[in-house]
Amino acid sequence: MTEALIVRGLDKTFAKPAVMDLDLTVHAGELYALLGPNGAGKTTTLRMVAGLTKPDKGEISIFGVDAKADPAGAKAITAWAPDEAMIYDKLTPLEYLEFVAGLWNVEPKAAKARAEALLSKLGLESEARRRCEGFSRGMKQKVALAGALIHDPKLLILDEPLTGLDAAAARLVKDMLQERVDAGGTVILTTHILEVAERMADRIGIIAGGRLLAEGTLDALRAQVGGMGAGGGKDGSTLEDVFLQLTATPAPVSGEAVA
Amino acid sequence: MNLAAPGSILWLLAHEMRLYWRSFRGGRAGKGARGLIGLTIVGAMMIAGGVLIALGLHGHDIPINPLSVSIAALASAVIFTLMLSQTLSASSEALYDRGDLDLLFSSPIGPAKVLLVRALGVATGVATIFLMVATPLLLPTVLYGHPGWIGLFGVLAALALAATAAGLVLAMALFALIGPRRTRTVAQVMAALVGAGFFLVSQARSILGQQASSSVYADIMQRSQEGRLNPPPFADLPLRAMLGQPLPLLALLGGAAALFILSARALGRRFSDAAAAAQGATTSAPAKAGKGPARAFSGGVFLATLRKELLLIGRDAALLSQVLLRVLYLIPTALVLSRNASHGTGAALAGGAGVVVFLAGQVAGSLAWITVSAEEAPDLLSVSPARIATLRRAKLAAAWLPVALLLALPIAVLAWFAPLAAIWTTLGAALAAWSSGLINVWRQRPGKRSEFKRRGGASWVATLAEMLVSALLAGATGVAVAGFAVWGLIPLALAGLVLLSLRRSDAQIAKALRLR
pLDDT at B97: 67
Cβ distance of B385 and A134 shorter than 8 Å: no
A79–B294 CB contact, under 8 Å = no
Is residue B434 over pLDDT 90?
Answer: yes
Q: What is the mean pLDDT of chain B?
A: 81
> What confidence tier does A117 reach under pLDDT thresholds 50, 70, 90?
very high
The neighbouring-strand residues paired with A188 are A32, A157
Q: Tell me the pLDDT tens digit for each residue of B502-516.
A: 898 888 887 777 654
Which of A54, A103, A112 is nearest residue B296 as measured by Cβ atoms? A112
Chain A 104-123, residues with CB within 8 Å of chain B CB atoms: 104-105, 107-109, 111-112, 115-116
- A102 closest CB neighbour out of B283, B298, B387: B298
CA distance A96 to chain B (A): 8
pLDDT, residue A165, reads: 86
Which strands form A65-66's sheet, in the order they lie side by side?
Answer: A17-27, A3-13, A57-62, A65-66
Q: What is the rounded distance in angstroms from the CA atom of residue B171 to the CA atom of residue A205?
A: 55
Q: Looking at beta carbons, which residues of chain A come within 8 Å of B300? A: 102, 105
What dihedral do alpha carbons A75, A81, A84, A85 form, nearest 10°?
A: 90
The 3-state DSSP composition of chain A as helix, strand, coil percent (nearest 5) reads 40, 25, 35
First to last CA, chain A: 15
CA B386 to chain centre: 35
pLDDT exceeds 80 at position B255:
yes
Rounded Cα distance between A214 and A204, Å, is 8
Tell me how far apart the alpha carbons of residues B322 and B370 are, in angstroms, rounded to a whole number.
10
* Residue A89 sits at the chain B interface (C-beta within 8 Å): yes
Q: What is the pLDDT of residue B493?
A: 95
Average pLDDT, chain A: 88
In single-letter form, the type of residue at position B502 comes to L
Spatial strand order in the sheet of A203-208? A78-81, A155-159, A186-190, A31-35, A203-208, A211-216
Min CA distance, B379 vs chain A (Å)?
7
Whole-prediction pTM: 0.73
Residue of A nearest to B375 (CA): A88
A33 close contact with B: CB closer than 8 A: no
Q: Pick the residue with more confidence: A72 or B278?
A: A72
**Alpha carbon distance A66, A7 (integer Å):** 10
Residue A115 in this model has a pLDDT that exceeds 70: yes
The kind and range of the H/E element at B307 are helix B301-315
If DSSP codes are grouped into helix, strand and coil, which group holds residue A238?
Answer: coil
Summarised one tens digit per residue, pLDDT across range B163-173 is 999 998 998 88
Chain A neighbors of B284, CB-CB under 8 A: 92, 130-131, 133-134
Helices (H), B144-245: 151-178, 180-195, 197-208, 216-225, 237-242
Q: Cβ contacts (< 8 Å) between B288 and chain A: which residues? A: 129
Residue B206: band (very low, low, confident or very high) from pLDDT cuts 50, 70, 90: low
Q: Do B384 and A107 touch (CB under 8 A)?
A: no
**Spatial contact of B495 and B473, defined as CB atoms under 8 Å apart:** yes
Q: Flag the least confident range among B213-222, B384-393, B493-502.
A: B213-222
Q: How far apart are CA A174 and CA A162, in angstroms?
A: 8
Residue in B92, B104, B98, B125 with CA at minimum distance from that of residue B21 = B125
- What residue spans of B374-387 are helical by DSSP H? 378-383
pLDDT higher than threshold 60 for residue B78? yes
Residue numbers in A near B282 (CB within 8 A): 131, 133-134
User: Are B284 and A130 inside 8 Å of each other by CB?
Assistant: yes
pLDDT band of B223, cuts 50, 70, 90: confident
**Per-residue pLDDT at A257:** 40
**Nearest CB partner across the interface for B289, out of A87, A116, A126:** A126
Give A188 or B201, the one with higher predicted confidence.
Answer: A188
pLDDT band at B475 (very low <50, low <70, confident <90, very high): very high
